Amino acid sequence: LYRAGITGIGVALPEKRLTNHDLEKMVDTSDEWIVTRTGIRERRIVTDGERTSDLATRAAERALLDAGVAAEQLDMIIVASVTPDLTFPPTACLVQERIGASKAACFDLEATCSGFVYGVSVAAQFIMTGAYQKVLVIGAETLSTITDYTDRNTCVLFGDGAGAAVIERVPEEFGILSFELGADGSGAELLKREHTAAIEMNGREVFKFATRTMGEAAKRVMNKAGWESQDVNLLVPHQANVRIIEEARRRTGLKEEQVYVNIHKYGNTSSATIPIALREALDEGRLKTGDRVVLVAFGGGMTWAAMALVW
């Protein structure tokens, strides 16, 4: 088997910021409550009918540029999203047309907030076997379009954004060493959206599931990679709540400086949080070639996914 890794990352975020102070005018909440309970200060929100495929396309173009890969070279595009433009065709096909990836196979993958790590894991199998050479995985969401802005329990949490990653064959000393994908359908009622309705959530139960599974899954992929907690350069968790991240960190035995957090700027953008965090960690010099990185996510389903890779 060949080794698969992430060779380029691109991000797209809407311009408009929705701050906690804006939300104070919309529902009975306060900046203080939101910051202490979630860590979120503002989130980005689409305007002028901007759709998931618009964000996905911009992120895709930037990821391709970052990797030095031309759209025509792509063998496959996977879009992970709970907010596709349409029920069908897949958002991946809309992106394909707009970037000109004419020979790419295209499909959407729905694994809620775990979708990006699920997508990278799927892409990696094609690269590892040599079946495909270049795959684009995109996590893209316009959660604001399915959020009830009269429900303070949920509307303070979510934001819009997209992140894309190019997956290719990499030298033996780099790339994905281990991954774990999981699901527990008995929790399907805890976090859901019925057709045309808004997100519904049992916050407390989701919180409990998240802290338990993120910590345990991260530890298992570290073990499989042969890493102790001090070997990890950066844990990049799904950004849903800073208290969930803190609890997962504690359970994996990592120090605060080993964990990347940017939830204060974007809130929970579901499948987009991890690629957005990776891009910012790279830009800030927190993530460098050769670093040992752990990704871990959870989401509705319930689902979870984790991965250990050398950057």
Annotated active-site positions, please? 113, 238, 268
In angstroms, the CA 137 to CA 75 distance is 11
Minimum distance of ligand ACO from residue 241's CB (angstroms): 4
Contact between 191 and ligand ACO per CB under 6 A: yes
176, 208 contact by CB (below 8 A): no
Residue count, binding to ligand ACO (CB under 6 A): 24
Contact between 220 and ligand ACO per CB under 6 A: no
**Beta-strand (E) ranges in 159-225?**
160-170, 175-183, 191-192, 200-201
Nearer to ligand ACO by Cβ, of 121 and 154: the residue is 154
What are 305's strand-pairing partners? 181, 297
In angstroms, the CA 80 to CA 93 distance is 12
Minimum distance of ligand ACO from residue 32's CB (angstroms): 9
CA 184 distance to own-chain centroid: 19
Contact between 156 and ligand ACO per CB under 6 A: yes
At a CB cut-off of 8 Å and minimum separation 6, what does 86 contact? none
Contact between 217 and ligand ACO per CB under 6 A: no
Nearer to ligand ACO by Cβ, of 4 and 302: the residue is 302
What's phi and psi for 309, nearest 5 deg? -145, 155
Residue 140, both tokens:
């893209």
Site track for ligand ACO across 72-101, x = CB under 6 A: ------------------------------
In angstroms, the CA 52 to CA 71 distance is 19
167, 134 contact by CB (below 8 A): yes
Nearer to ligand ACO by Cβ, of 191 and 296: the residue is 191
- Interface pick for ligand ACO out of 16, 17, 37, 169 (rule CB under 6 A): 37
- Interface pick for ligand ACO out of 17, 24, 29, 169 (rule CB under 6 A): 29
For ligand ACO, the binding residues (CB under 6 A) are 29, 33-34, 37-38, 112-113, 152-153, 156-157, 191, 201, 203-204, 206-207, 210, 240-241, 268, 270, 299-300
